[in-house]
Amino acid sequence: MENQELIKKCTEVAQQWVDSPLYDKETQAEVKAMIEADDKTPLIDSFYRTLEFGTGGLRGIMGAGTNRMNIYTVGAATQGLSNYLNKNFKDLEQISVVVGHDCRNNSRLFAETSANIFSANGIKVYLFDDMRPTPEMSFAIRHLGCQSGIILTASHNPKEYNGYKAYWDDGAQVLAPHDKGIIEEVNKVSVADIKFEGNPALIEVIGKEIDDIYLAKVKELSIDPACIARQKDLKIVYTPLHGTGMMLIPQALKMWGFENVHTVPEQMVKSGDFPTVQSPNPENGEALTMALNLAKQLDADIVMASDPDADRVGMACKDDKGEWVLIDGNQTCMIFLYYIIMNRKAQGKMQGNEFVVKTIVTTELIKEIAAKNNIKMLDVYTGFKWIAREVRLAEGKEQYIGGGEESYGFMAEDFVRDKDAVSACTLLAEICAWAKDQGKTLYDVLMEIYVEYGLSLNKTINVVKPGKSGADEIKAMMEGFRANRPTELAGSQVVCTKDYAVLKQYDAEGNASELPMPETSNVLQWYTADGTKVSVRPSGTEPKIKFYVEVKGEMGCAKCYAGAREAAMQKVDEVMKSLGI
């Protein structure tokens, strides 16, 4: 009976799309076919709710329907954002925005649709002539003095998805109060309110002129150009995984002085179908298969891959046995910050007011590296909008020199306010050149960090709980952890509990103190006497609860890594047993 009611409700909403003159014929035909089909699953999936414009924008499967990415859901988002901009900047003579997009199917259509809607609302639009990396769009907002910007991308999601990210005038994704203000405006919009007819006089196409300025700024991030000149033949294999990285990353590597860059030909083809990978996600080893095969043929020094919108970077290097190994997101972030700190110091480039940023679920070894080198380090929530917030707050007072998170994102600069695979790939190549200049590899550098600071092994465990019952179970798990705080994990006493939902931290005796964070978040963390850290939070986009486990170990020498890592992996298992997982 419940399912029949849902089918009836979805059919009624869908029929409005078929009957209304506001929807195009192609969309209406697609919806009509869903209504008439025996299998009502596509109808329900497409119409059981309205795709929600959240604090990160929109993301969903493409197709007709209220719960799908299409010109109407994208149009409502853009109309709502336009309304908010016109209210917030009403005293400006001309409000302006940047519109960018990635390689995905329909991304260009959605970008042009959005540009038309902005312009129809009296807002000047700088529209990129073709796909571009997300970080370049962020850069363009600041460079062109715009009030906002959007990028049409679903990042590293499967090919069926697309998305819409909204940015503010500082080049970062929107934060409070603007995030909630935009959501309120979007929720007020009906299809009849959307102004689809653009004003061509307010749309300016941009491209190479912005590329050149952005790439010149990225080149300024090079810390040791002389080292690159000595190691210009460093053998690099790069793949954009069919995405926007192909537009700038090979060019950026050449500008930095690298003359031996090899791209994966099959993956230098722009395609929203991502035909050569199961998933265009550089976090997954499978996505690097073709690049690794080429690297083995060439006996390369480094493999790097960017995701479809070129904000994340995945990498692989050879270990001490000459075998190719993947470097995870925590290790990547740590290597970047270690190199930046050590080499800025070595070259006398430190002014004494520098700081770095990491997210609360990223490895604590970064904190130790920063502390030993007298560099201020800040912990923020997951997401680069929070890193960008710290950069904005410190502007004119302190110097940001790098920040990142465990999910393969790094931002080496302050002229972009989002993670950036363009600067990350070029800086990664410089780190490899610096290592090779000393007769070392990237792997050797990682081992040296572990020997000096101790081993840190990080593992993320996802516990999937689908459906409404699963959501209730996840909620109950979080409530259970809060009501019965663990006192020990894998035999080590819990000395600190952090509850970001109430912004409190508790010591082993239960004494509470304030957590200085800008807003609450449904995250719990436990720290033990032996250096173990566990973070737990429900996923905001999928039916799962995520556990981020970090355990410490000792490494007397680089050759001790295998044994220390195995012991750490066993410790992770013991920690999860302590939590009943």
pLDDT (average), residues 340-369: 96
pLDDT at 452: 95
Q: DSSP class of residue 50?
A: P
pTM of the model: 0.95
Q: Which amino acid is at 354?
A: E
Instruction: Give the chain's domains with CATH numbers.
Output: 49-206 (3.40.120.10), 214-453 (3.40.120.10), 455-578 (3.30.310)
Q: DSSP class of residue 173?
A: B
Q: What is the mean pLDDT of the chain?
A: 96
Pairing of strands 313-318, 302-306: antiparallel
Residue matched to tokens 């690297």: 295
pLDDT at 465: 84
Q: DSSP class of residue 136?
A: H
Q: Other C-beta atoms within 10 Å of 122: how many?
A: 14
pLDDT at 56: 81
Structure tokens at 450: 């572990």
Comparing CA positions, the residue from 100, 215, 200 lying closest to residue 146 is 100
What is the spatial distance between Cα 468 and Cα 461, in angstroms, rounded to a whole number? 21
pLDDT at 282: 95
pLDDT tens digit string along 288-325? 999 999 999 999 999 999 999 999 999 999 999 999 99
Report residue 205: phi and psi, to 5°.
Answer: -85, 130
pLDDT at 2: 55
pLDDT (average), residues 381-388: 95
pLDDT at 211: 98
Structure tokens at 187: 């929720």
To the query of whether residue 96 is one of the catalytic residues in this protein, the response is: no
Let me know: does 154 contact 139? Beta carbons within 8 Å.
Answer: no
pLDDT (average), residues 535-539: 91
Strands (E), 351-482: 354-359, 376-380, 399-405, 409-411, 455-464
Q: CA geometry: angle at 267 spanning 266 and 270, to 5°?
A: 110
Comparing CA positions, the residue from 477, 484, 478, 474 lying closest to residue 500 is 478
pLDDT tens digit string along 116-158? 999 999 999 999 999 999 999 999 999 999 999 999 999 989 9
Q: Which amino acid is at 429?
A: A
pLDDT (average), residues 382-402: 96
Burial class for 5, CB neighbours closer than 10 Å (0-12, 13-18, 19+): exposed
Comparing CA positions, the residue from 210, 170, 200, 195 lying closest to residue 81 is 195
pLDDT tens digit string along 244-263? 999 999 999 999 999 999 99
The angle that helices 178-188 and 71-88 make with each other, rounded to 10 degrees, is 120
Residue 143: partners with Cβ closer than 8 Å, 6 or more residues away: 210, 213, 214, 415
Q: Other C-beta atoms within 10 Å of 271: how many?
A: 18
Burial class for 8, CB neighbours closer than 10 Å (0-12, 13-18, 19+): exposed
Let me know: does 305 contact 332? Beta carbons within 8 Å.
Answer: no
pLDDT tens digit string along 413-457? 999 999 999 999 999 999 999 999 999 999 999 999 999 999 999
> How much of the chain exceeds pLDDT 70, in percent?
99
Q: In what order do the strands lie in the sheet with 313-318?
A: 261-263, 236-239, 302-306, 313-318, 324-327
Let me know: does 426 contact 253? Beta carbons within 8 Å.
Answer: yes
pLDDT tens digit string along 446-490? 999 999 999 999 999 999 888 777 888 899 999 999 999 999 999
- Indicate which residue of 82, 155, 222, 407 is catalytic: 155
pLDDT tens digit string along 30-80? 999 999 999 999 999 999 999 988 878 999 999 999 999 999 999 999 999
- Tell me the Cα Rg of the chain: 25
* Cross-strand pairs, 512: 506
Let me know: does 295 contact 316? Beta carbons within 8 Å.
Answer: yes
pLDDT (average), residues 382-391: 96
For residue 403, what pLDDT band results from cuts at 50, 70 and 90? very high
Let me know: does 10 contact 65? Beta carbons within 8 Å.
Answer: no
For residue 1, what pLDDT band results from cuts at 50, 70 and 90? very low
pLDDT at 541 over 70: no
